[in-house]
Amino acid sequence: MTDHDHDHHHHDHDHSELSETELRVRALETILTEKGYVEPAALDAIIQAYETRIGPHNGAQVVAKAWTDPAFKQALLDDATKAVSTLGHVSRVGDHLVAVENTPQRHNMVVCTLCSCYPWEMLGLPPVWYKAAPYRSRAVKDPRGVLADFGVSLPKETEIRVWDSTAETRFLVLPMRPEGTEGWSEQQLAELVTRDSMIGTGFPKTPGAPS
Amino acid sequence: MDEASVRATAALPGIPRDEDGPVFREPWEAQAFAMALALHARGLFTWNEWAAALAREIKRAQAAGDPDTGETYYRHWLATLENLVAEKGVASSDTQHRYREAWDHAADRTPHGQPIELTPADFG
């Protein structure tokens, strides 16, 4: 990352910004919706069908590296922004990134206001339900219930921590490495890392299970 | 891929893709893709018509020095959408410009960390 880029990432933290292209897309979508040419839900459905095919998905590589390289894992937990930058990813989400590790004792789950800085480069696109206010408030009040809705059941003794993303801090959940992956390469492991496992509403894929 | 997407990608051979179908570098590219699919489904244009309009846009951009490496594909896609929306009388380019300014205004007044929402007051 050059110094210039670095400066660019830090300016204007007091208000939001949209690129010229994003402005054009939002303008068109608003017009077409108001005039009844498109339904936002129908657009969401199309986008959702491609959600795994958008962006570089750096997060899966970061998680896979942490699973195979103990020194990197420690560096990631100490300072995720710094650790991720050593991988050479050019990513505006590198700033203020915090990695939280799942263990048998503690499961982490992230909620977010979905401001313009949602870390899609790391995590892929947010799921549609993530945008809903009820998800956010329920996740804080009843995280176990929300997880159960997603088919995620945890032992009673596992504590659940809910992290609230803000403009200043974004969270990456470091899920537990699946059993039966001894000797796997980073590339093979990265294939198992799902978006939902990095926001704490799912587990990584199990080896051998159909994708 | 659903059937509409299969037909769309078959009709548009230049679309950035891998063996499993279209790929997008950024979320807005998928949004622009989805809008074209939805407008086609609504009958605003046929894929032949779309392909011709997109080809014109790419040709125009190339004449202006665009390398057309695939990185800029969806920029041409978006320009094509804007052109067709104006040509078909859905919304003039003036109207499109006004909505763009309004979104810019909305972003400006939204504190960092909040979702950006458009309100009537943003149309100054």
**Residue pLDDT, tens place only, A138-159:** 888 899 999 998 889 999 999 9
Most confident of A110-124, A181-195, B59-73: A181-195
Q: Does B111 touch chain A (CB under 8 A)?
A: yes
Residue A12 — very low, low, confident or very high, per pLDDT cuts 50/70/90?
very low
- Pair (A96, A173) in one structural domain: yes
More confident of the two residues B15 and B94: B94
A32, A49, A66: which is the final residue of a domain? A49
Tell me the pLDDT tens digit for each residue of A73-116: 999 999 998 888 887 654 555 568 899 999 999 999 988 766 65
User: How many CA atoms are closer than 13 Å to the CA of A72, on its beta-carbon side?
Assistant: 15
Domain spans, chain B:
3-10+22-103
- Pair (A126, A35) in one structural domain: no
- CATH code, domain with A79: 3.90.330.10
- Pair (A108, A157) in one structural domain: yes
pLDDT at residue B62 is higher than 60: yes
Residues of A in contact with B113 (CB under 8 A): 113, 115, 117, 166-168
Burial of residue B11, with CB atoms counted within 10 A of its CB: 0-12 exposed, 13-18 middle, 19 or more buried: middle
Shortest Cα distance, chain B CAs vs residue A46, angstroms = 6
- Pair (A30, A125) in one structural domain: no
- Pair (A164, A95) in one structural domain: yes
Give the DSSP letter of residue A205: P
Tell me the pLDDT tens digit for each residue of A13-40: 567 778 899 999 999 999 999 999 999 9
In 3-state terms, what secondary structure has residue A184?
coil
Q: Is residue A34 part of a domain?
A: yes
Residue A209 — very low, low, confident or very high, per pLDDT cuts 50/70/90?
low
pLDDT at residue A136 is higher than 90: no
- Pair (A124, A40) in one structural domain: no
Cβ distance of B103 and A46 shorter than 8 Å: no
Domain containing A145 equals 56-199
- Pair (A131, A44) in one structural domain: no
Catalytic residue among A85, A91, A112, A165: A112
Domains of chain A: total: 2
Q: Which of A168, A180, A190, A149 is nearest to A66 (CA)?
A: A190
Average pLDDT, chain B: 88
Q: Is the pTM of this model over 0.95?
A: no
Residue B100 — very low, low, confident or very high, per pLDDT cuts 50/70/90?
very high
- Pair (A109, A195) in one structural domain: yes
